[in-house]
Every structure is written in C-alpha cells, then in structure tokens.
Amino acid sequence: MGAPSRRRARTAGAIARPISLIITLLTTTIAAAIPVTALGTTSAHAVVPEPPRPAFYEAPATLPGANGAVIRSEHVTFLLDPLDATSLVRNADRILYRTTNRTGTAIAVSGTVLVPSAPWVGVGSRPVIGYAPGTQGMADRCAPSRLFSEGIEYEGLGIEGLLQRGYAVAMPDYEGLGTTGVHTYMDRVSQGRATLDAVRAAQRLPGTGLSATSPVGLMGYSQGGGAAASAVELAATYAPELRLKGAVVGAVPADLAKVASNLDGGLFSAFAFFALRGLSASYDLDLSPYLNATGRAAMDSVEQDCVFDLFDHAFTRSRDLSVDGQPMSELMKREPFAAIIEAQRIGTIRPTVPVLVTHSALDDTIPYGVGRAMARSWCGKGANVSFSTNVAPLHVGGMAPHIAEALPFFEARFAGLPQVGNCWLL
C-alpha cells in the first residue's frame, strides 16, 4: 500500500473513533467531578476566587501594540491526546498573545500552536487552521493549552487529521479561559477575534515556518463552531490581511435563545448557565437581582467548572434558579438580556470566503434548525455556502462527520478549487 493510501487509512481509523472516545472521556470523569463550594453572590466580575494559575498565563502590565502579537511562548513537552497526535508534531508551543475583546479593550489570551513534523508538500506555503475549540468550561484549569499537556483535550480528535494533511493548527483558549477574569463564553465578537488573532500569532511565532503568506482556514464545532463562524464573518474587516480560503463550522449555536430553550432542564443545562455567566461578565451585568439564592450559588459554581463537571448541573431547570420562577427563555425576552442575546446572533454578516456548514438532524443540544437558519441567512446575503446534513446520533456524534467533511473541503480550498454551494436547497 502506497503512502497516500496509508495516510487515508490512518485518517479513516481516526475518524471512526471520536464518538466512543468522547463518550468514554465524559462518562469516566463523572465520578471525578470536583464539587465547588458556591459563595452565593454573582456580580459581573469574578466573585469566586480564582486558583493560582501558572505564571505563563499572567499578562504583563503593558501589552504589545498589534493584535496577534506574541507576548510569550513556551514549548509543550507532553502534547498527548487519545489518538497520540504527539508523534505528528514538530513544534508544539503554548502562546500568550494580544487580542481585542468585544468592548475594544486590548487583552492577553492564551492558546496553542502545532506544526507537523512532515514537510509541507502541497502548493505554496504550509496552511494554518484557526481551530476554535468546543466547550471546555469556565475555569482557568479548563484551557485547552493546559489540557493538551494532561492528555485529556478532546479536540485532539479533530486536530489529528489536520496534522496528517500537513496543516499547522492555531487554537485559542478564548477570553478569560486560562487567563485572568471570567471566560466570556458565547460572546460572539470576543471569540471570533481571539480565533483570528491566534492565527496571526502563529504566523509570527519564530521557528514555525509560517508567515503572513500562509493560507488560512477556520474550523470549529459547537462553541467552536460559533467562534469559527463569527471569525469568518469578522475576518474581512478585523483581519483583512489573512489569506483566508474557507471555513468549516459545525453545530453552530447561532441563535442563543433557541439553544437555551432546548437545553433547559436537560443533560447539558450547564452550557446555558455557562453562557449566562459568561455574557453577564462581558456586558458587566449583575445577575443577582434576577436569581434566587440557589441561582446565585449555581452561577458561582459554574464559574469554576470544566466540561467534565457538567453533570453537577444536569437536569437543572432555570425556573428553579430565577427570583420570580420564570425560565431563562422568558428572561431572555426582557431587556437588557434581549439585546445582549440578539447581539450574539450569527448569520447577519456575509462571509467573503466559501463556508461548509455541518449539522446533525439528530442533534439533541443545538437544534438542527438553528444551523440551517444561519446557513440560509448567509445564502440570502450572497455567500458561498454548502450546508451538509448528517444523521449522526446526538450532538457528540455529529462531531465525527464534521471532521470527516472538513478534510476534503480544506484540500480543495488550498488547491484553489471552487466550492459549489447548495443554497438553492435551503
């Protein structure tokens, strides 16, 4: 069997494993979930004392002047994941870089840059994928740049296929995840900018072989799908110099009101609480008047949770947390929440590069109709969109076809081939 065949076989094996591996990771950590003592107060800023973080994650008093500027970097000596992507990596670096959050404030965000061992044999220079991670949690210990070293970062499942193709990967940790402050979970602008600036940082990082001429792709699923989708919307104005060729976004939470209603009282209730806590921090909104004592304690608790702790809040109904007994869906109809939630809607800005949108019709977490409506909105604005429906089981299962479809998409885009969209089906 020739080298290309061996590569395809290995990749096919990698794609076949994600569902069982992710489920194993989730289920085996239920017993290990660490209870957090809630303090019972929920202001817009961090109210739960943050555990000491490694010195690497502390921002300097003065930040560099340019977005994407590298503040510091260090080699990640043990980049482990369930598929052993370590063997594919020549450079694995943890980075701290400058970005700009939703309010226009310059902040330091951490992330990871991976460069494959194999030389790039394609056309032009080695591409770099801005890989936006899915939900990690809210606590600093949840940052992917830390979890990679511990061998428990599930996004290694999606990254391995990209490394096998010879692409470099730049992954942000997002605002407040790993660094000081509350993680602004689901803040559309902050997440999109952090993803674009991670690519800029990778291109500027010495020793990677990457440069400003490197072709760029964007990819993400779930929270990462939202971040990558936001990034592809913002790229033309925020990072116009990037040689962006296309984006693959999966299970995008494009309409938070509908997503929150779907999550309420279910297994993944914590995701909705992450969003409420993260957005309240981004918009400097005190939640205390809207929550009862149980609700305030829950918001403080999720601030120190990782995704593997989500079972602590499983099947919790938001009506049991509100001061007036109304569910979160009703709270989101009131101001200032209605305007905040509407500002996170994705699909309102036309992407200027081809986009592949994937979504499982059986998604139990982010409704299939939400992803389809976003794709239809982009189509209505004249974007080049291909919408791909799959029937993988549940939200977790949809990640496998998302990864599988991303690989040929990027191969075609980096080879200069056009995408034939299917907007006419939507």
User: Is-cis flag, bond preceding 336, omega within 30?
Assistant: yes
pLDDT 10s digits, 177-217: 999 999 999 999 999 999 999 999 999 999 999 999 999 99
How do strand 168-172 and strand 106-116 relate by DSSP bridges? Answer: antiparallel
Q: Which two tokens stand for residue 421?
A: 């969209």
Instruction: Using alpha carbons, select from 302, 318, 330 the residue that is nearest to residue 263.
Output: 318
Report the largest interatomic distance among the alpha carbons of the chain, rounded to a whole angstrom: 66
Q: Give the span between the Cα atoms of 205 and 95, in whole angstroms.
A: 9
Q: Is residue 299 part of a domain?
A: no
Q: Which two tokens stand for residue 402?
A: 């998302």
In one letter, which amino acid is 192?
A: G
Angle at 143 between CA 58 and CA 95, to 5 degrees: 55
Q: Is residue 310 part of a domain?
A: no
Determine the pLDDT at residue 47. 57
Q: Is residue 296 part of a domain?
A: no
Q: Give the span between the Cα atoms of 209 and 124, in whole angstroms.
A: 12
| CB-count burial class (<10 Å; 0-12, 13-18, 19+) for 204 | middle
Q: Alpha-carbon Rg of the chain, whole angstroms? A: 20
Determine the pLDDT at residue 43. 42
For residue 207, the domain's CATH number is 3.40.50.1820
Q: Is residue 115 part of a domain?
A: yes
422: how many CB neighbours lie within 10 A of its CB? 13
Beta bridge partners of 73: 95
DSSP code at position 212:
T
Q: Which two tokens stand for residue 323?
A: 């001061």
Determine the pLDDT at residue 308. 82
Determine the pLDDT at residue 90. 87
Q: Is residue 286 part of a domain?
A: no
Q: Is residue 37 part of a domain?
A: yes
Specify the pTM: 0.89
Contacts of 347 (CB under 8 A, 6+ apart): 254, 373, 374, 375, 376, 377, 378
Determine the pLDDT at residue 362. 97
Reported residue count of the chain is 426
Residue ranges of the chain with per-residue pLDDT less than 50: 1-44, 46
Determine the pLDDT at residue 21. 38
Instruction: Using alpha carbons, select from 197, 151, 209 the residue that is nearest to residue 173.
Output: 197
Q: Give the span between the Cα atoms of 99 and 197, in whole angstroms.
A: 6
| CB-count burial class (<10 Å; 0-12, 13-18, 19+) for 161 | buried
Range(s) of the domain holding residue 41:
3-256+341-425
Instruction: Using alpha carbons, select from 136, 134, 140, 133 the residue that is nearest to residue 307.
Output: 136
Q: Is residue 305 part of a domain?
A: no
The count of domains in the chain is 1
Q: Which two tokens stand for residue 69?
A: 């500027």
Q: Taking a C-beta distance cutoff of 8 angstroms, is the pair 389, 7 a contact?
A: no
Q: Give the span between the Cα atoms of 257 and 268, in whole angstroms.
A: 15
